[in-house]
Structure 1
Amino acid sequence: MTNTYTRGLHEIAAGIWAWLLPDGGWGMSNAGLVQGEGQSFLVDTLFDLPLTTEMLDAMADLTASTPIQGVLNTHANSDHCFGNQLLDDTVTVYATSETDHEIQHGTTPERLHMLATSDFGPVLSPFLRSCFGAFDFTGITLRNADTVFDDSLTVTVGGRDVELLRLGPAHTVGDAIAHVPDAGVIFAGDLLFIGGTPIMWAGSLTNWLRACDRMTALDPTVVVPGHGPLTDVDGIAKMRGYLAHVKDRIADGVEAGRPWRETADRMDLDRYASWPQAERIVVTTYQAYRQAAVDTPQEDGIDLFGEMAAWQQRHVRKR
């Protein structure tokens, strides 16, 4: 599939729009709008209020005649839900029950501001600034779901069905996608990264592979990833290949009795080594070890970012 990967609103099917944010790295996430007769449905908000305002302003001509009636937060990562407060009170916020719980009890804007501005030393501080320093976390008030679902839910938007399907845990505990069957469009959230390395905050890898297969089985014409350019089933297949590869390499490490850090450090990423954000393999390996019931003490989030920063120093910058 060929497409133009530029910042802004792109019509990808009749009455369906993708909002793209290059370069697709940390916090630079995609979203979307589905129009029906007299109504529309939003998929995700963005990482801060200025970014979400920019997106909603760009959609204003569309939503003037088809007001937004609902929004799906595909998962609880902040770059997919921190703009919820900018939606009208009449807009119904949808999420899986796990995502709603994680939004309520997970990362706060204050914590992200602290991570982006505090001094954590010469290795971690530059890494955190590269991840979060470009964003404005002031003024954000968390807005939780109004309607939660546990498996699937079909929302009718001006006569048009939008299927909300829970496929997690994979990237996070409660990942969901939005499928528009009449157009063959999937909004995949962070179940799909294109042009970047995925990261598993919850998992398992086995279930993430299953999620890829379920998306492929829907036979979409266009897939909007959580990060990166538009794609189709070929993009799903490429990321599935990465997940299968690292699953096998991690299993080798577990079988050999290596600690998770050693397995991550020795990871042969093969043809995937050139993908941006390769250091995310650290978190994926850690989570896979914990799910394999290997004796793996729980790590704080800041410690995992420190491990990623150190891995990047050792592996990425010496290339």
Structure 2
Amino acid sequence: MSSQKGFASTGDLTEKKISFTEIGPDLYAYTAEGDPNTGVIVGDDSCAVFDAQATPGMARSVIEKVRTVTDKPIKYVILSHYHAVRVLGASAYQAEGVISSQETHRLIVERGQQDWESEFGRFPRLFRDAESIPGLTWPTLAFKGEMSLFLGKREVKLMQLGAGHTSGDIVAWVPDAQVMFSGDLIEYHSACYCGDAHLRAWPGTLNGIREFDPKSVAPGRGDALNGQATVREALAMTRDFVTTLYGVAEMSVAKGRTLKETYAAIREAMDPKFGSFAIYEHCLPFNVSRAYDEASGIDDPVIWTAERDRKMWEALQA
């Protein structure tokens, strides 16, 4: 596998095939072969979407799919976390409420603009119709811990089960169907992006999800997970990814290795298992940088900027 690739995913121009999969009664996963997923929850009188897509133009393709199954209004947009590819399409839904954790709101204030510029530079294909983005997406309601949302009689429990992909991650649990929308806390045959992660905390958060024993899950990337066996496989795969990454980084830091030496050691451990996963090559330099930082005692992920992205990429890929 050549490491002399173009920067991040700037060379990834292939359009992905979209699937709209039922994962429970009136529950759907909008997936696209490793691109960011969106979840759809249809209640008695209205709907909610879980993660909005990167641009209003791309969100409109979600709305088209929703309209094939219901004409109920989309009342809420739920943000699993703050990353641009998940949230900047929110305005297209014209929802009454945009909901996130308080920690996600804090992260948007602290690093939302830099993250937008950074992500746009890394993965231009995911920002189709970028000029339609009106600005940063701001939650209209931010909660701590957990809250219940009601779509008519249907309850949707929004919960912070712990940090992982970011410090502000939330999941949505639909008790009547035993179905979960996990955001990027779970990926399926797709690399976990760990550039803003809390890697030591992530496995414990996965344990929290596992305790619900969901019948189905809409993961952050990859196919919809239908059936408990598939859900458990995806949980195990995600856990293996983040613990391998952090374990090698921790050992490297303990031995006094440089970031570049750590990158080589992590490649050796991860390429054979995960090299075929979607966005693996894109994520790896960012993942190694964050794992090295966390193992070195830097608890709060360093903010990525478009300039920092390029410098780090060149330093590790040279």
TM-score by length of 1: 0.81
1:282 offset after TM fit, Å? 2.4
2:133 equivalent in structure 1? 140
Q: Which amino acid aligns with 1:138?
A: E
Q: Which stretch of the first structure deviates more once superposed, 106-115 or 174-183?
A: 106-115
2:112 aligned with 1:92: no
1:168 offset after TM fit, Å? 4.2
Q: 218, 221, 224: which one pairs with 2:218?
A: 224
Q: Does structure 2 conserve the Cα–Cα contact (< 8 Å) formed by 1:179 and 1:186?
A: yes
2:276 aligned with 1:274: yes
Q: 80, 84, 94: which one pairs with 2:86?
A: 80
Q: 22, 25, 36: which one pairs with 1:14?
A: 25
- Please show how residues 186-201 of structure 1 align to structure 2 within 5 Å: 186-201=180-195
Q: Does structure 2 conserve the Cα–Cα contact (< 8 Å) formed by 1:109 and 1:138?
A: no
1:55 equivalent in structure 2? 62
Alpha-carbon distance in 2 for matches of 1:134, 1:171: 19
1:252 equivalent in structure 2? 251
- Please show how residues 1-319 of structure 1 align to structure 2 within 5 Å: 7-22=18-33, 24=34, 28-64=35-71, 66-88=72-94, 91-108=96-113, 112=117, 116=121, 128=122, 131-133=123-125, 135=127, 136-141=129-134, 142-231=136-225, 232-267=231-266, 268=268, 269=270, 270-279=272-281, 280-294=283-297, 300-302=304-306, 303-308=308-313
The percentage of aligned residue pairs carrying the same residue is: 23
1:80 offset after TM fit, Å? 1.1
1:236 offset after TM fit, Å? 1.0
CA gap 1:173/1:305 in 2 versus in 1, 3 angstroms: farther
Deviations 1:74-127 (A, max 9, x none): 0111111111111225x21110112123334534499649954xxxxxxxxxxx
CA gap 1:44/1:115 in 2 versus in 1, 3 angstroms: closer
Alpha-carbon distance in 2 for matches of 1:238, 1:85: 34
Q: Which amino acid aligns with 1:257?
A: G
Alpha-carbon distance in 2 for matches of 1:208, 1:237: 12
CA gap 1:77/1:298 in 2 versus in 1, 3 angstroms: closer
Aligned alpha-carbon RMSD (Å): 2.8
SS, match of residue 253 in structure 1: helix
Deviations 1:231-259 (A, max 9, x none): 21211111111212222111110110112
Unmatched tracts of structure 2, length 5 or more = 1-15, 226-230
Alpha-carbon distance in 2 for matches of 1:182, 1:239: 26
CA gap 1:295/1:44 in 2 versus in 1, 3 angstroms: closer
1:307 offset after TM fit, Å? 3.5
Aligned length: 290
Alpha-carbon distance in 1 for matches of 2:254, 2:67: 55
Unmatched tracts of structure 1, length 5 or more = 117-127, 315-319
Alpha-carbon distance in 2 for matches of 1:110, 1:281: 17
Alpha-carbon distance in 1 for matches of 2:292, 2:54: 29
1:218 offset after TM fit, Å? 0.8
Alpha-carbon distance in 2 for matches of 1:15, 1:225: 17
Q: Which amino acid aligns with 1:277?
A: I
Q: Does structure 1 conserve the Cα–Cα contact (< 8 Å) formed by 2:160 and 2:171?
A: yes
Which structure would you say has the larger RCO, counting Cα contacts within 8 Å and 6 or more residues apart? 2
Alpha-carbon distance in 2 for matches of 1:263, 1:299: 21
Alpha-carbon distance in 2 for matches of 1:192, 1:14: 21
CA gap 1:57/1:295 in 2 versus in 1, 3 angstroms: closer
Q: Which amino acid aligns with 1:32?
A: G
Alpha-carbon distance in 1 for matches of 2:36, 2:295: 30
1:159 offset after TM fit, Å? 0.9
Alpha-carbon distance in 2 for matches of 1:114, 1:244: 25
2:9 equivalent in structure 1? none
